[in-house]
Structure 1
Amino acid sequence: MSHQNTVFHQLLKPILRRDFERLAHQHHQGQKLRKATRWDQFVAILMSQLSCRQSLRDIESNLESQQEKLYHLGAKRIARSTLARINEEQPACLYQQLFGQLLKKCETSKTTHKFRFKNPLYSLDASHIDLSLSLCGWAKVHESKASIKLTVGLNHSNTIPEFVALGDGIENDMVQGRALKFPSGSIVAFDKGYIDYQWFSEMTNHNISFVTRLRPKTVYRVKSQSNVLSCKGILADEHIELSSDYAKKRGAPKLLRRVEFYDADKKRTFEFLSNNFHLSASTIAAIYKDRWKVELFLRQLSKI
C-alpha cells in the first residue's frame, strides 16, 4: 500500500464505519441513493480537500486516477454530477454530527497545555473566508467580493478548534466572539478586536479569566502596584480601575490587572489587560504570546 494511501487510512481510522452509516441514515432526505453513498461523498471530499482540487471536474479526474485507493477505503468513484447533486440535496448536518463525535474522542485522550496551571486555555480569533461571488451571492460584502467570517476558540491542550462560529463577512468580531460559551474556570486570550467592557464583566461573573492587550489611550486609575521581576521582562504589574465615563457606562469590572512587558526578541513593550490576579505577571505575558497558535491555525486553514 502506498504512503499516500496509508495517510488516508490514518485520517479515517478514528471514524468507525458503522457510526458513520448510522449518522448517514439519520441525516438522509428523499429517495435511496443508488449511484453513490454518503461514504463515497465523504471520501471524495476528503481526498479532494487534501489534494487541493479546485472544481468538480478536477475532483472527478483525481478520483478516476485513485480507484485503487478508493477500493482500500471502502469507497468507489463518484461522477461529478452525482457528487454535485448529493452536495446540494443532502443535509450537511451529517458532518456536523461527525465532527462532534470526533471532538469527543479527542477530548477523552487530550494532553495538557504547556503551562503549570490546570485551567483550560483557549485562544479566540477570527478570519475571513473568501467565497465565489457568483455562487454565494448571499455572502456579498461589496460589489466584487463575497466572504464569511470564521470565529475560532482554539483549545491549547489539543490544538483543536473546540468552539467555532460562522458569521457575516462584515460584522464585528464581537458578534460571534461573545456568543461562544467558554467553560467556567477557563482562561481565554484574544486581541484588541474583542475588547468589550460589558463582556469583560460577564466573563468575570462566570469565573472566566481573560488576557488581552490594553488599547492605547485607555483611561484608568492605578489602585495598587506589585513588585516585579525585571529580569523576566516585567516592567509593571498593577491593579487598575477603568475610570472613563464610557467604561462605567458599559459596566466594566471594578478592578482589572495591567501588566507591562518588554519583549527582548521583538524589542517592543506590550501592555496586557486581565481579570486574573492569581497567576504571575510573566505567565500572563506568556499566555498572550501563546495566542499565536490560533493565528497559525487560521493561517494554515486559509491555505487549504
Structure 2
Amino acid sequence: MVRHASLFSQLVALFHRGHFFNTVFRHQAERYAKGFSSWDHFVAMLFCQLAQAKSLREICGGLSCCLGKLRHVGVKKAPNKSTLSYANAHRPWQMYRDLFYQTLDVCKMGGPGRHRFRFKNKLLSLDSSTISLCLSLFPWAKFRRTKGAVKLHLLLDHDGYLPTYAYISNGKKHDVTIARKIALSPHSIVAMDRGYNDYRLYAYWTESQIYFVTRLKSNADYTVLEERQPPFNRNILADELVQFNGHYARKNCPHTLRKVTVWDNEQERQIVLLTNHLEFGATTISAIYKDRWEIESFFKALKQNLKVKTFVGTSENALYIQIWTALIAMLLIKYLKFKSRFNWSLSNLVAFLRWNLFTYRDLWEWIDKPFDVLPGTAQSVQYPLPFKGIGQHQLKMGT
C-alpha cells in the first residue's frame, strides 16, 4: 500500500498554490495560455533542474513516462516540445523572479539562525558570475566580438548562505552599477572583491552606516594617518587608518578608512584589505573577507549541480526563466539540507534526489535516512525446483 506521494510531488507541494496563482494573476501569465497552465510550466522547468534534463525532448519525455506519478501536483498532461518552447519564450520571467523571493521567505523561516561570528551585524557577500553563451545561438547577449554572456549578480546572506538578492544583466554591465541599486540596512557588513571599487559608493555606505570589507587597489594613493598595533601571533602585518590623496578620490570619499594587511600562508602573498569599520579587531576583518569565499562556492555549486550552463531555449525570456528556476531549485535543496539530520554534502543531496525523484517515501524521513529500506520492500523469496528428484549437480549441468 502506497502511503506517500513521490519525493518530487512532496517537493512541489512546498509551494503555496494560492500565492503562486496570485503571482500568475499579477503578471497576467495566463493571458494567452491555451491549455498549458503556468503551474504545469513551472513543474516542467523545476523537473528540468532537479532531473538535470538536457533538452526539451528530455523534459517532455521524462514527464510523459512519469505522468501517473504527477497527479498529486496537479499535472494531467505532459507538454509537447513546441508548447513548452513557446511558453519559455513568451511567459513573463518576472513571475519566476517573484516566486524565487517567495521561496526565499520560506527558507529563511526554516534555516539556521545566525552566522558563525560573534557580532550581531548582518553579514553579506556581494559578487557576480559570468555565464558564457554561444553568440550565434544567443545574438541578443553580445559581450565580446565573438562571445556572448550574461551576468548573474548575487547578494549572499551568511545566515544559512542563502541568496537574498539576485539580478541578471548582460555581460557588459559593470558590477558597481548593480551594487548601487541594492538596498542595505544600516550596520550591515558587505564583503566583496576589487571589482566593486568605487569611492563614491564607499562614501555613500559610510554615511549610511553600512560597513564594507574589500581589497584595496594596488595603485591607490593614500596617506597613513595612524598606525595601530597589530595582534601578536596572528597573520596581520599592519593595521592603519588612511585617507585618499587624489583630487577626485578625496572629493568622492573624504572619510577616514582602514587598511589591514594580511599574510596569506597558503599562497604566500600579502592581501591588503580596505574597510570603513574602525572598531572590529584586525583578525575579525580578515576572517570576514575570508568568509566571502562562500559566495564563490555558491556559484560553483549552482553551475555544477543545476542547469545554468546549457539552456533549453535561446530567447532572452527562456534563459531568464531557466536561471530563476535554478535559483528556486537551489533554495529547495538548501532547505532540505537545513532540515536534514543526515550529513549531506550539497552535490550528494542533488545526485540522490535526482535518482529518487519518483520514489514513494516520506520526504522528511528520506532526507534523514536515505539508505534505510522500508519494511516489505525487499523480501527474500525462495522458488521451488521445477522438478522433484533432480539433483543439484544435474540442475547445474542442464540435464
TM-score by length of 1: 0.90
Could you tell me how far apart the structure 2 residues matched to 1:240 and 1:155 are? 29
- Pair member with larger Rg: 2
The match for 1:128 is 130
The match for 1:73 is 73
The match for 1:177 is 179
1:173–1:193 Cα contact (<8 Å) kept: yes
Query: Which sections of structure 1, spanning at least 5 residues, go unmatched?
Result: none
1:35–1:82 Cα contact (<8 Å) kept: no
Which piece of structure 1 moves more, 177-186 or 37-46?
A: 177-186
Matched residue type, 2:217: R
Matched residue type, 2:65: S
Structure number having the greater strand percentage:
1
Cα distance 1:32–1:170, how it changes in 2: closer, same or farther (>3 A)? closer
Whether 1:61 aligns to 2:61 is yes
What is the identity percentage for the equivalent residue pairs of Structure 1 and Structure 2?
37
Cα distance 1:140–1:256, how it changes in 2: closer, same or farther (>3 A)? same
Could you tell me how far apart the structure 2 residues matched to 1:95 and 1:27 are? 10
The match for 1:19 is 19
Cα distance 1:159–1:3, how it changes in 2: closer, same or farther (>3 A)? farther
Whether 1:138 aligns to 2:140 is yes
The match for 2:238 is 236
2:30–2:38 Cα contact (<8 Å) kept: no
How far apart are residue 64 of structure 1 and its match? 1.9
Cα distance 1:135–1:4, how it changes in 2: closer, same or farther (>3 A)? farther
2:30–2:37 Cα contact (<8 Å) kept: no
The match for 2:166 is 164
SS in 2 for 1:35: coil
Cα distance 1:128–1:3, how it changes in 2: closer, same or farther (>3 A)? farther
Query: Which sections of structure 2, spanning at least 5 residues, go unmatched?
Result: 307-399
Could you tell me how far apart the structure 1 residues matched to 2:48 and 2:190 are? 34
TM-score by length of 2: 0.70
Matched residue type, 1:301: L
Cα shift readout 1:251-277 (whole Å, capped 9, x = no counterpart): 224211111112334433211110001
How far apart are residue 3 of structure 1 and its match? 11
Alignment size in residue pairs: 302
Could you tell me how far apart the structure 1 residues matched to 2:30 and 2:218 are? 57
Q: Larger relative contact order (C-alpha < 8 A, sep ≥ 6)?
A: 2
The match for 2:37 is 37
2:9–2:70 Cα contact (<8 Å) kept: no
The match for 2:302 is 301
Could you tell me how far apart the structure 2 residues matched to 1:31 and 1:155 are? 36
Could you tell me how far apart the structure 2 residues matched to 1:54 and 1:186 are? 40
The match for 1:252 is 253
Cα distance 1:10–1:221, how it changes in 2: closer, same or farther (>3 A)? farther
Which piece of structure 1 moves more, 274-283 or 77-86?
A: 77-86
SS in 2 for 1:140: coil
Could you tell me how far apart the structure 1 residues matched to 2:297 and 2:262 are? 23
Which piece of structure 1 moves more, 77-86 or 103-112?
A: 103-112
Which piece of structure 1 moves more, 132-141 or 53-62?
A: 132-141
